[in-house]
Chain A
Amino acid sequence: MQSTTASVGIQEIKPLDQLLEKIADHKGCGTSSEGGKASCGSSGGPADMAPEVWEKVKNHPCYSEEAHHHYARMHVAVAPACNIQCNYCNRKYDCANESRPGVVSEKLTPEQASKKVLAVASAIPQMTVLGIAGPGDPLANPAKTFKTFELIAKTAPDIKLCLSTNGLALPDHVDTIKGFNVDHVTITINMVDPEVGQHIYPWIFWKNKRVTGIEAARILTERQMLGLEMLTAAGVLCKINSVMIPGINDKHLVEVNKAVKSRGAFLHNIMPLISAPEHGTVFGLNGQRGPTAQELKALQDSCEGDMNMMRHCRQCRADAVGLLGEDRSAEFTTEKIDEMSEVVYDAATRKAYQELVEAERNEKVAAKEAAMADLDVTDIKILIAVATKGQGRVNEHFGHATEFQIYEVGSAGTKFVGHRRVDLYCQGGFGEEEALPSVVNAINDCHAVFVAKIGGCPRDELKAAGIDPVDRFAHEFIEESAITYFKEYFAKVCAREIVHQVRGDADIRQGAYIAAA
C-alpha cells in the first residue's frame, strides 16, 4: 500500500492516464475468482477478500451489503458548515438528503453527540458504526468533528468511527484521521474533469476566496485525488460516493470509477440524483431529472468489472439512526437525550447480542450455499423484490413495507442490486388503493415480490401487472428462498409452462427519504 504520489503538492499531480497506468490494479480490493469480478464491498463475504479487510468491513453496514442486514449505523449532526456549494444541495431548506439545523433535525455539540451515541448504542446493540456526515462537511468543521471522535473513542471504544467529506480539506487532515483510528472515509466524487465539474459545483471556498467555474472544479478534483491517494497510502478504506446526474456526469462516471479504482478506493457507490423542485436545489428548480432504476443499474453493472459497487446505499440523512432503510432518529432527540441523567454503556450486552448475530449470519451463508448446489446453467436472470425488516429474512408484510430490496437471481446465484422506496401501502390497517400503482412502478422491473404476508386486493393487482406475489417464503432467508424460486421458475421455462421475458424499467422515488413510520 505505498503511493509515491501521496506527499506531492497539488501542482505536481500527474495527468490521470499516466497515473492509471502506473498504479492500476495493485490496490483496493482483490478480484475474486468468479469472472474477475470483485464484489467484496457490495455483497461478498470472507471468500472474496483478504481477512484483514473483512475484519474492517464485516460489521460496517455501509461497506458490506451483507452486514447491512444485521448491523446499524448512526450519524451525528455535529458538522453544519460546508466549504463548497453543490447544485443538488440546498442548505436553506431541509432537502431530501440533508438535515439542517432548525427544521426537523438539530445540530449537536460534540458533548451532546457523545451522550446520544451511548444512549443509542445501549438501546440498539447492533449499532456498530458512528459516522459524521454533515449536514455540511465534517472536515470544514474539524474541531467539532474530531472532538466528537475523541469523546466517543474514550467511552465506547468498540464503535467504529467514520466520516464522509467532499474532499476539499481532506489532505490537511489525513494524519488526524489516522490518529483517531478512523478506518473508513467516504469521499463524494462526482467528476474528475473540471469541464464536467463546473456544471455540478457553482463555487468552492478556497484559501479565503470564493472560487467559481472551471477553476473551482479543477481545485476540487485535485484535492479529492490527492486526499484519496493519501488515505489509501495510510491504509484507510475509502468509499467513493458519486451522484448520477443524467446528461451531466452519467457517462463520465465510468471515468471517475477508473480514476478512483486506480488510486486504491475500496468501494464505489453510484447514487441517483434526488431533485424534486420542492427541495429548492439548482437541479430541482431547473428540471434536471434523476436516472431511472434501470439506467442506474446499467451504470453500476458497467463499472462492476473494475471495482466493488455499493448498491445498498439509502442516501441517508446526517442524523440517521438505525439499520439502513430505517430511521429511528425520532426516538433519540436532544430533548430525550438531555432528560437521561446518566447513560451507562453496556458493552457486555452488546457483545452477547453481536455474537448471536454472527451465528445467524453463518446459518444464512450455509443455507445459501446448500441451495446453490444444484443450480442449472442458464443465461436467464430475474429480479425479485423483497419485503424485509432485516436479518436477511423475508419478514415484512407487503402493506407495511416502506422499501423493497431488489435481488438479481441467475445461475451464478443471488446478487443484491438495489432497493426501492415506496409509499406505505397499508395505513391504519387498510390498504390504500392509491398507493399501489406507485409500488408497482417502483418494482416494475421485477418478476416476483417476496413478502411475509399480503392481502387479496394487492395480490390480484400485482398479478395483473405481471409481478408474482410470493408469501410462501415467509420468515425464511432471502437468498436461499430466491434461489429456490429461481430453480422452480427455470424448470417451468424448460417445461414450456411459461415464457421468460425481460421486464420493463422502474421509477426511483423522489421526495424526502425520511421514514414515515
Chain B
Amino acid sequence: MAYKIIASQCTGCSACEPECPNVAIREKNGTFIIDPKKCTECMGHFDDPQCVAVCPVDLTCIIDNAYPRYEVPA
C-alpha cells in the first residue's frame, strides 16, 4: 500500500514532495513523511515510484511492510 521514508536517512531536500502524484508527502520536523493512506506506489501514474527515483540517498524511500501492497482499483 505504501512507501515510507527512513527519517534518519532523509536530508530534508524536498525533492520528493512535488514529484508525488498523490500529494502524499509533507515535511515534518525537518524531514519528509509519506501518508500511507494516500500513497499508491505511483501505480496508474508512473512506471517508477517517483520518490524513490528522485531521492538523492539510496534506500531512503522503501516499501513499508506494515501495509499490504497497493492494488489498482478494478
Q: A92–B14 contact, CB under 8 A?
A: no
Residue ID in chain A nearest B11 by CB atoms: A91
Is residue A263 contacting chain B, with contact meaning CB distance below 8 A? no
Q: B47–A82 contact, CB under 8 A?
A: no
Partner of B53, one of A100, A102, A135, A210: A210
Is residue A469 contacting chain B, with contact meaning CB distance below 8 A? no
Give every chain B residue within 8 A of A81 (Cβ-Cβ): 13-15, 17-18, 54
Q: A92–B30 contact, CB under 8 A?
A: no
* A84 CB, min distance to chain B CBs, angstroms: 9
User: A81 vs B55: C-alpha distance in the bound complex, in angstroms?
Assistant: 9
* A137 CB, min distance to chain B CBs, angstroms: 9
Taking A83-B54, A92-B57, A208-B50 as contacts, is the C-beta distance between A141 and B11 under 8 angstroms?
A: no
User: A208 vs B21: C-alpha distance in the bound complex, in angstroms?
Assistant: 10
Is residue A325 contacting chain B, with contact meaning CB distance below 8 A? no
Is residue A136 contacting chain B, with contact meaning CB distance below 8 A? yes
Q: B54–A136 contact, CB under 8 A?
A: no
- Write the A97-109 contact mask toward B (1 if CB under 8 angstroms, else 0): 0001110000100
Is residue A154 contacting chain B, with contact meaning CB distance below 8 A? no
Q: A82–B53 contact, CB under 8 A?
A: no
Is residue A205 contacting chain B, with contact meaning CB distance below 8 A? yes
Residue of B9, B48, B54 contacting most chain A CB atoms (<10 Å): B54
Q: A80–B14 contact, CB under 8 A?
A: yes
Q: B11–A102 contact, CB under 8 A?
A: yes
Taking A91-B57, A205-B54 as contacts, is the C-beta distance between A102 and B9 under 8 angstroms?
A: no
Give every chain B residue within 8 A of A80 (Cβ-Cβ): 11-15
User: A136 vs B50: C-alpha distance in the bound complex, in angstroms?
Assistant: 17
Q: A136–B15 contact, CB under 8 A?
A: yes
- CB < 8 Å A-B pair total: 59
Q: B13–A82 contact, CB under 8 A?
A: yes
Taking A101-B30, A208-B46, A208-B50 as contacts, is the C-beta distance between A82 and B12 under 8 angstroms?
A: no
Q: A208–B11 contact, CB under 8 A?
A: no
Give every chain A residue within 8 A of B48 (Cβ-Cβ): 208-210
Residue of B13, B15, B48, B53 contacting most chain A CB atoms (<10 Å): B13
| Majority-rule SS of B interface residues | loop
Residue of B9, B30, B53 contacting most chain A CB atoms (<10 Å): B53
Residue ID in chain B nearest A85 by CB atoms: B56
Q: A101–B13 contact, CB under 8 A?
A: yes
- Write the B17-50 contact mask toward A (1 if CB under 8 angstroms, else 0): 1110000000000100000000000000011101
Give every chain B residue within 8 A of A316 (Cβ-Cβ): none
User: A428 vs B56: C-alpha distance in the bound complex, in angstroms?
Assistant: 41
* A283 CB, min distance to chain B CBs, angstroms: 16
Q: A92–B9 contact, CB under 8 A?
A: yes
Give every chain A residue within 8 A of B47 (Cβ-Cβ): 208-209
Give every chain A residue within 8 A of B17 (Cβ-Cβ): 81
Is residue A120 contacting chain B, with contact meaning CB distance below 8 A? no
Give every chain B residue within 8 A of A140 (Cβ-Cβ): 15
Give every chain A residue within 8 A of B11 (Cβ-Cβ): 80, 91-92, 100-102
Give every chain B residue within 8 A of A210 (Cβ-Cβ): 48, 52-54
Give every chain A residue within 8 A of B57 (Cβ-Cβ): 91-92
User: A458 vs B54: C-alpha distance in the bound complex, in angstroms?
Assistant: 51
User: A210 vs B12: C-alpha distance in the bound complex, in angstroms?
Assistant: 19
Partner of B56, one of A91, A208, A209: A91
User: A82 vs B30: C-alpha distance in the bound complex, in angstroms?
Assistant: 17
Q: B13–A100 contact, CB under 8 A?
A: yes
Residue ID in chain A nearest B56 by CB atoms: A91
- Other than the given A92-B57, A136-B13, 17 more pairs (CB < 8 A) read A80-B12, A80-B15, A81-B18, A81-B54, A91-B57, A92-B56, A100-B11, A100-B13, A101-B12, A101-B13, A102-B11, A102-B12, A102-B30, A140-B15, A208-B47, A209-B53, A210-B53
State the B residues within 8 Å of A (CB): 9, 11-15, 17-19, 30, 46-48, 50, 52-54, 56-57
The contact sample of 5 A-B pairs, CB cut-off 8 A, is: A83-B15, A100-B12, A205-B19, A208-B48, A209-B47
